[in-house]
Structure 1
Amino acid sequence: MATHVNDDSSSKQNRVRFGAFDFDLRRQELRRQGHLIRLPAAQLRLLNLFLERPGDLITREQISSHLWNDTGTIDVSSGINTSINRLRGNLSDPLNSAEYIETVIGLGYRFVAEVVPVSAPRAESHEAATPPPTTLDMAPPAPAALHEFAETSAAAQRRSFSHRQRLAVGSLLLLVVAGSVALWRRGRSRPSIVALSATRPSPLFHLRPVTSTAPGEAISAVAVSPDGRSVAFSNRAGVSVHTFGGGDILLPSRPFFQVSRISWFPDGTHLLLSGMDTQTHRHQVWGVRLGEGYLRFFADDADLATVSQDGSSVAYTRQNGMELWVAGAGNDGAHQLLADPRGSFPYLIWSSAGDHLLVDHRAASPGSDSYESIDARNGIVLARESHMVFSSGYLLQDGRLYFPLTESANPAAGQTQLMLVHTDPKTGKALDKPQMQQLFSGYGRALSASLDGKRIALALDYATVNVFVADLRRPGPTLENVRELPHKVEESYPHAWTSDSRAVLSESSALGVWAIFKQPLDAAESQLVAKLPTGAAMAQISPDGRWILFLQFAKSNTPPIGFFRVPVTGGVVSQVPVSTQLEDFVCSVSANGSCVVRETIGNTELVYSALDPLTGVGRELARTPWHPIVLGDWGLSPDGSTLSITDHDVVHPSIHLVSLAGRRAEGPSELPLRGHGTLWGSNWAADGRSLFVECRTKDGFELVNLDLGGKAVVLRKSSVTLWGIPSRDGKKLTFPDRTSSNNVWASDTMQ
């Protein structure tokens, strides 16, 4: 059985790189940025199998035969699921983007990251050295809220923002890296190329949001100051300068002037603003000095102005981008450098010496776009690279050119690759092909950096999940007056209402780990309720309305490690005594109800017991045969008498109603729900007469109201997981759904 990409021990290719990882095939050691990640034997065998066949579909049967010889002693389906999910966890592979392991529903898996062989080290080269750790690392993994179930259930294969399977996708607004391998280059014979940072690795940037725009607003331009201490950006309000560690100042503006590019002068005291007057449709460039209350006119019929690194020259375009011009810092000596009557120059970058320009040249003929280096004195083309374009970017003094490459303009599906190409600092000639250095979620634009390249910023169209609220109208029922609760850009998921039905309890990644927040419907800001070092989630209100109960998680793909309470009025967080390994809990949405905890007994039974906020687990209430479960996939009736249990049966989807100990069963024991895909979970309506059922369809997700007579009404559809939590007064419903934002993101610290 082959377990290595290359079994020839004499081969120089004993190591491979994929994404942010380095794998030693001979030693069977996986490292990330120099840090050893210890994998058990089963995960090592699985990783070797994927690395042998990158990009190929690997069936579950092939995985089974590769991992185990004797399948009669284990649950193969469960074992494969566990191995896949644990390997994904060690690779920090978010389910919503599948940067490494992609699930092919019903068939198997595919390793989607590029696998690059690494040559053995030579005495004169550092190429094979393990990249050193960097301070600009990704955020620590947030807690997961899941109990994996067999992937024969479609519920185990969701690839949207799968909150209930993987509660934290790593604080998504933390934009996890997929291609952060350090790029090392050996010097070549020509002196100008030896200067290309032969031993300098590419940086690893950890981005955080700088702005918090309202829905529908957009960032049109971004520029980091030369010293990296500030970033200027433009939106509907005008141009603002944000100082890292400080606040924002709004610069003076012209009415109806829409800014398309911002460029700093090297002293960091004034900027050039390029854009268009939306009334006259004239392109203009204006200057502004920080601290002054007015703009200075620079040039008419001009756009995309950029200042040279020494501040002596300005390059810009004219005639709708068809002409390339160069002038002095005061627009003195302006002259045309180059023209293409049928094409355009949509982006310009000065070389560090100021003697040539790197130009994105879009030609009229399809497929003729190119990267060009233009002599800034006479317009001679010094170098050209076909089919290499950049809509924005920055150039470092050693010739490294970084630019964003986007896969899709749709922020929900798009990803942005941070690309690197080495150029000759003297001529601008591209010395190699562009290589991806890092992967950001979302659609990135307007990339810029400080002069030393240690701080970057860009505008990022980014889709996330937030809390929505709607009025619940009957008969029907229907959802009316749907609105999104205020948020920044972090993921947020609702799980309960306060007793007065005036606020929603949710967890959010706003603090870097998952924490519990309360969001009043009439307030603009959410209030922190509880935060634990490793993360808190799945908040519920006790039936008496006195306590907020929640779970603690240590890391991805593990059960909860603690059960906690905090007074509704605020105060000290206390741990609820639980002696057994709990899986999940629910509380009724009524003062007359109760709380119930669920435990798993091997793969044989599910045990349901009473739960008290002060004393912990009480007497046993019911047992059911074991079946695949997901955190939060069951509900408790308002009076605490009946459980609604989702079995995730893809053939006969239904909700099982289980009467608890000492309660007399009334009504049906099973509620079938056909035609809505696989059932993922259910919550009771406040009046106890219906259920809000989460369904996974072939097109996405549906939230269905299912009454006890079997009548089903679709309330909402979404591309992300969708469940409904009713308020205690029965008048409102809260649910998660996708939301999009366009903001400035910047690296949070400088190298």
Structure 2
Amino acid sequence: MPENPIKDVIRFGTFEADLRAGELRRNGIKIRLQEQPFQVLAMLLERPGEIVTREELHCRLWPADTFVDFDHGLNAAVKRLRDALGDSAENPRFIETLARRGYRLLVLVNGAARENAPLPHAGPSWRVGLAAVVLLLAGIIAGWHAGHRSAAAVRFTERRLTANPENDPVFSAAISPDGKYLAFTGRTGIFLRAVETGETHPVTIPDGGKTHLVSWFPDGSHVLATRSSSATEKPSLWSVSVFGGASRKLMDAAERGAVSPDGAQIVFVRGDYGHEEIWQMQSDGQHARRILGQPGENCESVVWSPGGNRIAFVRSAYRKGWEEADVSLGIYDLVGGKTNYLLSNGQLRAALAWSPDGRLIYSLAEPPPNQNDSNLWAIKVDARGNQAGGQPVRLTSGPDGKMRASLSGDGKRLTFLRWTESPAIYVSEVEPGGGRLPLLKRLSLDERRNFPYTWTPDGKSVVFTSDRDGVFHLFKQAIDQPAPDLLVGGDQSVTLARLNADSSAILYTLSPALHDTDRRVRLMRMPLSGGTPQLVFAEPGINNFQCARSPSKVCIVSEFSANHLDLFIFDPANGEKRQLRRFEGSDWYLYNWTLSPDGSTLALAKYQRLPGPADIRLLRITGGKERVLTLKDWNGISSLDWAADGRSIWVTASSPTGIQTLLHVDLRGAAKPAFQEPEKYLGWAIPSPDGRHVALWEASSSSNAWLLDGF
């Protein structure tokens, strides 16, 4: 007898799950959902109202002979399922978490009443999320608690507004002054969504291009958009009508704009990374003038006060090190010209909004082991821009980074983005002559952050860092094995790892210890065969090091200060070092470098976010002779590493159309694309010693808009 197809389709709420096809649909529209999250959903649908234990899910999702971090894998699968359903662990409508036991489906299935369904669980659910940058863990706990030890917690209703799939993130979202519409941007343009009905329409812009950020004009019919017509053009600010009508460019070389409450003025950010300034102009683009900014600083976000006489901003500067930014939340008096800093905390993030009743909303990263998550907080600010007393109030909790906050005109609706990123390691064979890479094979199967740094001498295993244990530890994994071996654990993060010249030892750096007020990074040495680690030396500014391969004995380390970057040749056996080169200026942290396998040449590139030709400087170790390779058709070099034979360089850059590309660059500057990634963020590539393989990382990302109602 043929099977009944109706039993294979289970309906719950506005969703239906086709168990045979493995598809989830909402109102007939297919929603992207990976296999493991769908299997979790299928088990819950089979037993609505009942507890499905974590052990049962383990058996269903992973065979007995599979070696995987089950807890992390299951947490990630449930999180992806909740994202697809628009559900929240803190205020669940579909899936309830029962701590350390399992999960329960709360909704009606095909019209049948659920049994034993309790009230939604109100307790927080903490899981490690994923963020855009690698954080230095030391000092986080003390700094975080210093300003938030007695902070109050207020719970609001969170509601998901957009449902973009993985690797199609929402870039920016802002709620209209009347609270009825959400303007948001993605890869395909600007969209306008009715908050209550979900009806969504694209906003037409005649000249195309890419829109990065949006905020509203007070009239509720226009948005201020940061746009680029092409990948080779600097961002500019536009006034865009959301209900039809002409768009108008207001200012070239400008971004991250905000319109004053009366609609008369705009503040915006201008400059390249490391040299960003805050400017002010009239709303028609006239009379622009610089008001804030120093060399070495970046402006993460800027908003107006309710009265329009002050602005609040989050600024960052890498004064103490590449991985530890000096981040501050300040208020600038546009009349008096004075700045008052309310918070100085390395865990500040870019979300910022100022409510009509004087609450300043900002975002803070969580302390370990949830350091990749950030949540929204609010402090009361008086009319003079000073904190009005009382403790900060927590507005959100749980996983993911909270970004791009915006408020309705009455301050009762707050929107923000929940963003995650998951860097994973992939391995590929390398074709002779540096052609395109064949199919990539994923090495790291967990959902944590993983970054490759070197290979074992035989070229069979990748040595990498991962925060699967909370802080970054060092691991080794053979390319034909499903799970890694731990090399270095402990309380401090491993920030970088390389082999010494004769490949007998692993050199690695550890983040500063909590008790070390000098913030010294420790360079360690450990036999590759195992043994007790030994300290090579400790300095407060180590940000990179690398050794050539035998017979060369050259090892180089770079150290920074507030206004320069020093390169030293060092001996990893005794820690002795001598200066090789100094780079002056406040933008030292924009330099990336790599040492050729024979130890003769340094290749250096300066990160450039804004359009322009990509240059690689080749510096001879002996004699200091220098020449420049210009990659004419490529922009924004983000990483570079010498190929195993020393005759070419693996480079990550952007194509003229903005696609991230792994290039194989010869020593004449000729670049061959080896791999392109149109969706994910593409990181660096590390070749194996024999040149037969390359390990690279790329990060999946997810971002959607959420609403806090009754705020």
Sort the TM-score into its range (normalised by shorter chain): 0.3 to 0.5
Q: With structure 1 as the length reference, what TM-score do the two structures score?
A: 0.43
